[in-house]
């Protein structure tokens, strides 16, 4: 049995900067190196509301904790897809640890917003981990609030999952 994303994170202990940089590498590879501008265009196209997208970007730029939580939820969801995504995520974290350039907050906000797009199109609401001794714990992911909640709602409607 392969390890869960929670187990991977517990072993690797990435800091917030590493998580952000890994997300940048991961989303770039997953989207065939789509530019941040094209990512934003895609989210605006799906939501149909450029103003709400812009409000969410502003909120993300001002809330590093929300950024990290969204990115970790994205990674956790993508990890569940299977070994190909697990390898891609592992590779992204390894690259992030080796090269930690300073990246613009605006780009991180767009990558995070695109992470929300990935979550809205197939994210899970909770994760249960069963331990070898039979005990288990469940992690429930809290829904976003404010402009970010509005953006996720619009994305879900735009892709027909809302």
Question: Which string of DSSP letters, residue by residue, matches 47-103?
Answer: HS-HHHHHHHHHHHHT-HHHHHHHHHHHHHHHHTT-HHHHHHHHHHHHHHHH-----
Instruction: Identify which of 60, 68, 61, 56 has the alpha carbon closest to the alpha carbon of residue 154.
Output: 56
pTM for this entry: 0.65
- Does residue 120 form part of some domain? yes
- Does residue 80 form part of some domain? yes
pLDDT, tens only, 94-137: 999 887 555 566 677 777 777 776 666 554 455 567 778 888 77
CA–CA separation, 47 and 52 (whole Å): 9
Q: What domain range is 12 assigned to?
A: 5-156
Residue 154 has pLDDT above 50, yes or no: yes
Q: Which two tokens stand for residue 46?
A: 């799906």
Question: Residue written as tokens 């941040």?
Answer: 36
Q: How remote is the C-alpha of 59 from its chain's centroid?
A: 16
Per-residue pLDDT at 119? 64
- Does residue 66 form part of some domain? yes
When divided into structural domains, the chain yields a total of: 1
Give percent of the chain above pLDDT 90.
Answer: 30
8 Å CB contact between 152 and 47: no
pLDDT mean over 24-40: 88
Residue 155 has pLDDT above 80, yes or no: no
How high does pLDDT run on average in the chain? 80
Confidence of residue 42 (pLDDT cuts 50, 70, 90): confident
- Does residue 162 form part of some domain? no
Q: Which two tokens stand for residue 93?
A: 């974290």
- Does residue 161 form part of some domain? no
Per-residue pLDDT at 123? 45
pLDDT mean over 12-24: 92
- Does residue 91 form part of some domain? yes
8 Å CB contact between 127 and 25: no
User: For 36-59, b where at least 16 C-beta lie within 10 A, e where not — what string?
Assistant: beebbebbbebbebeebbebbbeb
Per-residue pLDDT at 103? 58
Residue 162 has pLDDT above 60, yes or no: no
Q: Lowest-pLDDT range, 34-43, 65-74, 78-87, 131-140?
A: 131-140
Confidence of residue 93 (pLDDT cuts 50, 70, 90): very high
Give percent of the chain above pLDDT 70.
Answer: 72
């Amino acid at each position: 049995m392969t390890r869960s994303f929670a187990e991977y994170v517990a072993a690797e202990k990435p800091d917030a900067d590493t998580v952000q940089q890994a997300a940048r590498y991961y989303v770039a590879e997953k989207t065939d190196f789509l530019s941040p501008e094209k990512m934003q265009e895609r989210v605006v196209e799906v939501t149909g509301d450029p103003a709400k997208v812009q409000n969410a970007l502003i909120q993300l730029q001002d809330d590093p904790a929300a950024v990290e939580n969204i990115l970790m939820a994205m990674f956790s969801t993508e990890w569940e897809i299977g070994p190909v995504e697990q390898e891609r995520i592992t590779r992204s974290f390894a690259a992030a640890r080796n090269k930690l350039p300073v990246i613009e907050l605006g780009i991180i906000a767009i990558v995070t917003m695109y992470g929300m797009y990935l979550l809205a199109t197939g994210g899970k609401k909770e994760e249960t981990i069963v331990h070898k001794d039979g005990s288990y714990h469940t992690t429930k992911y809290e829904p976003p609030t404010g402009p970010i909640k509005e953006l996720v709602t619009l994305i879900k409607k735009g892709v027909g999952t809302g």
